[in-house]
Structure 1
Amino acid sequence: MLQIMILYFQVRHTKNLYVLKQIVFWIALLWTGLVLFLCLVQSNKMPVVNIENLDKIVHAFFHFVFTSLWILFFKTQIKDPDSYKPYIISFLFSVLFGITIEIMQGQYTTTRKEDALDVVANMVGAVLAVFLIFLYFRNRRLNKI
């Protein structure tokens, strides 16, 4: 009877973990698509707000969320909870994605231009995400001890 209960728990836990992985993946993918769309849509179709450096704050926010979601997804894929791989992969993915978007803005849009400071803002958002999520999981792990 105990073996049946253990097997049931393992199957149920595995199924719930699979569902969690799928949910995190789709949210990360949808956010990626939204960022891509908003960064490539013609700027004359976007509302105008006159706040200095607002676009840099938006870039940092986009990549903060982008990196956070991909870290959470990659953490579900890697078995070792102490691994740095999710952080490194997500950070590099965010930086390369941001650079690609800037190149695409310069090549394929007429109302947007490439901006190296946007890439810097993207990196600031990505670094903040890596740092804060790393601290969160480290503190959570230390509190378990």
Structure 2
Amino acid sequence: MVCYLVILTKNLLVPKQVYFFAALLWTGIIAFFCLVQLNNVPLKEVSNLDKLVHVFFHFVLIVLCFLFFQKYTNAVNSVKCIITSFLFSVLFGIGIEIAQELFTTTRHADVYDVLANIFGAILGVAVIILFDLKTKIR
């Protein structure tokens, strides 16, 4: 499904500002949900739900950042866009964990959250590469 969303958004003549604001909005959503107190969430009993959310957050972040960087640079070679998106996602995830430890009293830094962020970023990169290969074959 995500591949089809990438196809649709990639083929539209969307100004690069749309991708920028989508990536910026998603970054803000991640920051909000990672820094606020979430003790009253009813799904707290689901095992490792927190890690799945981190994977999802960074998967989507990679796709949005990739689309922005590709549109912004008009890149024919998407390797630089993938690397830039990946580095942004990983550094942003580490920064959020540091902010949780330093600036909140209800949240704490977790190495496993960083690993989940990296896994989500790798998953996003894999989908982008597979999609890119699939479109070049056609």
- Normalised to the residue count of structure 1, the TM-score between the two structures is 0.82
Match of 2:111 in 1: 116
The whole-number CA distance in structure 1 between the counterparts of 2:37 and 2:19 is 29
The whole-number CA distance in structure 2 between the counterparts of 1:42 and 1:110 is 9
Q: Deviations over 1:54-111 (max 9, x none)?
A: 0000000000001110011111122332230010000000000000000000111111
**1:1-145 → structure 2 map (5 Å cutoff):** 17=13, 19-44=14-39, 46-49=40-43, 50-143=45-138
Aligned residues: 126
The whole-number CA distance in structure 2 between the counterparts of 1:114 and 1:136 is 34
The whole-number CA distance in structure 1 between the counterparts of 2:77 and 2:98 is 35
Structure of greater Rg? 1
- Unaligned regions of 5+ residues in structure 2, if any? 1-11
